[in-house]
């Protein structure tokens, strides 16, 4: 993704103030992954800043990814908390442990967080419009925060530390079309059976 291809929508606020408040690692990430510049803290042009502040699609794929667009790994989402116009967010092959700040991005429709170190999905419960969630290969032990996400169409959660599929409800049966939860080393077969029989939701491959 290059700066000239950034999709934007109207947003208020001073872009320069927003940039100056960003953590150093996020300034570097925006410059390298989105604007195609060196991983630097230097401020982009005024037009580029306005585009960044109003962006609706972002991808940050760390150096371990098959197709990386940055040379270092992020450990938090602090640089995204003000980007409330985001609809699609990809933060993969990084070192995220929590989703602190994600609750502010209530316009998200698709969220790709696979291959991180996420332990807790707290914050997702605020994302009422979320339709696609990809959280494979993390350290997640509970899906409870998705309980009230009634717009979910796609959920991939294999390769985690799940022992239960609590959080899925009969309401998800109306919208969920792709659900992949295997393999999950600690997830017992009876949980798959329970969800299939009582909720009408079948895990792909299960």
pLDDT by residue (tens digit) across 6-31? 444 444 479 999 999 999 999 999 99
| pTM of this structure | 0.92
pLDDT for 45 equals: 95
- Residues contacting residue 99 through CB under 8 Å, at least 6 positions apart: 77, 113, 118, 120, 121, 122, 123, 124
Q: Give the whole-angstrom CA distance, residue 195 versus residue 27.
A: 43
Residue indicated by tokens 């992020």:
74
Q: Which residues contact 98 (CB under 8 A, 6 or more apart)?
A: 76, 118, 119, 120, 122, 123
The predicted structure's pLDDT at residue 161: 98
* The pLDDT of residue 4 is above 50: no
Q: Around 12, how many Cα atoms within 13 Å sit in the side-chain half-sphere?
A: 0
Give every strand in the sheet of 57-61, ordered side by side. 57-61, 88-92, 110-112, 132-134, 154-156, 178-180
Does the pLDDT of residue 177 top 60, yes or no? yes
Percentage of the chain surpassing pLDDT 90? 92
Q: Which pLDDT tens digit goes with each residue over 84-101?
A: 999 999 999 999 999 999
């Amino acid at each position: 993704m290059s700066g000239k291809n950034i999709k934007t929508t109207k947003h208020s606020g001073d872009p320069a103030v927003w940039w100056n408040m960003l953590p150093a690692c996020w300034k570097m990430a925006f410059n390298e992954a989105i604007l195609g510049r060196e991983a630097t803290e230097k401020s982009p042009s005024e037009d580029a800043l306005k585009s960044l502040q109003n962006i609706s699609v972002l991808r940050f794929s760390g150096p371990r990814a098959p197709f990386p667009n940055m040379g270092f790994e992020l450990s938090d989402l602090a640089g995204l908390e003000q980007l409330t116009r985001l609809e699609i967010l990809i933060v993969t092959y990084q070192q995220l442990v929590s989703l602190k700040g994600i609750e502010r991005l209530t316009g998200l429709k698709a969220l790709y967080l696979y291959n991180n170190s996420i332990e807790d999905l707290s914050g997702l419960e605020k994302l009422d419009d979320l339709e696609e969630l990809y959280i494979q290969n993390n350290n997640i032990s509970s899906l409870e925060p998705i309980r009230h996400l009634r717009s979910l169409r796609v959920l991939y959660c294999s390769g985690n530390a799940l022992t239960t599929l609590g959080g899925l409800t009969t309401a998800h049966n109306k919208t969920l079309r792709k659900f992949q939860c295997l393999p999950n080393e600690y997830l017992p077969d009876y949980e798959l059976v329970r969800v299939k029989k009582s909720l009408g939701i079948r895990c792909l491959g299960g």
